[in-house]
């Protein structure tokens, strides 16, 4: 028996506690303007299931395992009560950067999305330059390519961005092999490489650490099956970590904050301030950044907000069927 696997509730218990919501974004992000999610009014605390629509059932079932773990199982002890977070700058024009950063009061770090398929390297450079102009010389800037470059593209773009004093480059290339080659090529620049998709979407999340292909790991609680499973993986890596989110509601951010609160020696600001990118949430007291941090606490669901932002019947049925399929994979 897996000691980290919380007992899987009956499917009817899951569905009876599920609320499918459709939340508008304050700005376009990852190509979407609305974020769909399922929040559960679970026995121990509200929890979330929000894999992106394109993920298959095998991958999405790990996210459901995380939701069950957080809502139906006791969580590890916390080491801190607040988590410093970074601002997140989508692939907007340079002119829009000041307004985006204003949504993250007190944040000393900004993660900037780059390598958008419809944009150019000049767009990326202009966006990062605008972030540096707003944050000043003491601000920390990290960029996230979501695996969008090949090795040559990554090397050339990082060379152009290096003068802006990058904290690290997140997932510049898609594969572990490419990350390792790039890391060797750019070592002279002094720009660390962080791995995200190579951890959360990999069959073996430790492969990137064993290969020496990254300096930092970016970890999300939902894709790794929950707080307890993520902690067990991190204990084996020996690398510093950043705890991040996947455009979650405040419920999912509470799960991420609980993970960040349990990580010994947390050295980096975390990507858990993304409630600031939502134009609506599922709670009256969202986990928005205040003085550059969010608290570690459970989130109380708002029946009024969940009713206001309930997904339509077709999308609700789609999510319910997805939960059934993922539940079947976990329960068998």
Considering only CA atoms, which of 265, 201, 231 is closest in space to residue 58? Answer: 201
Radius of gyration of the chain (CA): 19
| Cβ within 8 Å of residue 120, ≥6 positions away | none
Distances (CA, A) of 40 to 70, 74, 235, 314: 10, 16, 29, 19
Question: For the chain, how many helices (H) and strands (E)?
Answer: 12, 12
**Residue 144 marked ligand-binding:** yes
E strands, 75-192, where?
82-84, 87-89, 109-113, 140-144, 166-170
Q: Which of 113, 229, 258, 309 is catalytic?
A: 113
E strands, 185-230, where?
193-195, 216-220
**Residue 215 marked ligand-binding:** no
Tell me the two tokens of residue 178. 């490419």
| Cβ within 8 Å of residue 39, ≥6 positions away | 18, 19, 21, 46, 47, 48, 49, 249, 251, 282, 301, 306
Q: Is 201 a catalytic residue?
A: no
Q: Which of 220, 228, 258, 309 is catalytic?
A: 220
Kindly state the greatest CA–CA separation across the chain.
56
Q: Is 113 a catalytic residue?
A: yes
DSSP string covering 247-274: S--HHHHHHHHHHHHHSTT--S-BB--G
As to burial, measured by CB atoms within 10 angstroms (0-12 exposed, 13-18 middle, 19+ buried), residue 242 is buried
DSSP assignment letter at 195: E
Give the residue ranges of the annotated binding site for Mg(2+): 144, 170, 196
Which residues define the annotated binding site? 144, 170, 196
Query: What positions carry a catalytic annotation?
Result: 113, 220
């Amino acid at each position: 028996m897996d000691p980290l696997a919380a007992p899987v509730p009956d499917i009817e218990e899951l569905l009876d506690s599920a609320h499918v919501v459709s939340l508008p974004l304050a700005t376009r992000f990852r190509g979407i303007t609305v974020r769909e999610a399922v929040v559960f009014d679970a026995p121990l605390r509200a929890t979330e299931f929000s894999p992106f629509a394109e993920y298959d059932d095998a991958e999405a079932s790990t996210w459901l395992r995380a939701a069950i773990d957080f809502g139906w199982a006791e969580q590890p002890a916390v080491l801190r009560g607040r988590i410093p977070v970074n601002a997140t700058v989508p692939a907007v024009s340079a002119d829009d950067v000041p307004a985006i950063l204003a949504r993250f009061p007190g944040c000393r770090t900004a993660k900037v999305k780059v390598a958008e398929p419809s944009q150019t390297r000049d767009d990326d450079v202009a966006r990062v330059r605008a972030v540096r102009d707003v944050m000043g010389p003491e601000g920390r800037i990290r960029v996230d390519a979501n695996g969008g470059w090949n090795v040559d593209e990554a090397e050339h773009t990082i060379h152009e961005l290096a003068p802006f004093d990058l904290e690290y480059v997140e997932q510049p290339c898609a594969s572990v092999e490419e990350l390792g080659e790039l890391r060797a090529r750019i070592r002279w620049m002094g720009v660390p490489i962080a791995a995200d998709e190579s951890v959360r979407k990999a069959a073996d999340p430790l492969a990137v650490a064993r290969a020496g292909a990254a300096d930092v790991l970016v970890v999300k609680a939902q894709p790794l099956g929950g707080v307890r499973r993520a902690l067990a993986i991190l204990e084996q890596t020996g690398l510093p970590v950043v705890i991040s989110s996947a455009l979650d509601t405040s419920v999912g951010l509470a799960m991420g904050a609980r993970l960040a609160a349990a990580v010994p020696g947390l050295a980096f600001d975390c990507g858990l301030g993304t409630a600031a990118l939502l134009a609506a949430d599922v709670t009256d007291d969202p986990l928005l950044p205040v003085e550059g941090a969010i608290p570690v606490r459970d989130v109380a669901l708002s029946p009024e907000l969940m009713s206001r932002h309930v997904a339509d019947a077709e999308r609700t049925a789609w999510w319910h069927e997805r939960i059934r399929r993922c539940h079947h994979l976990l329960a068998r």
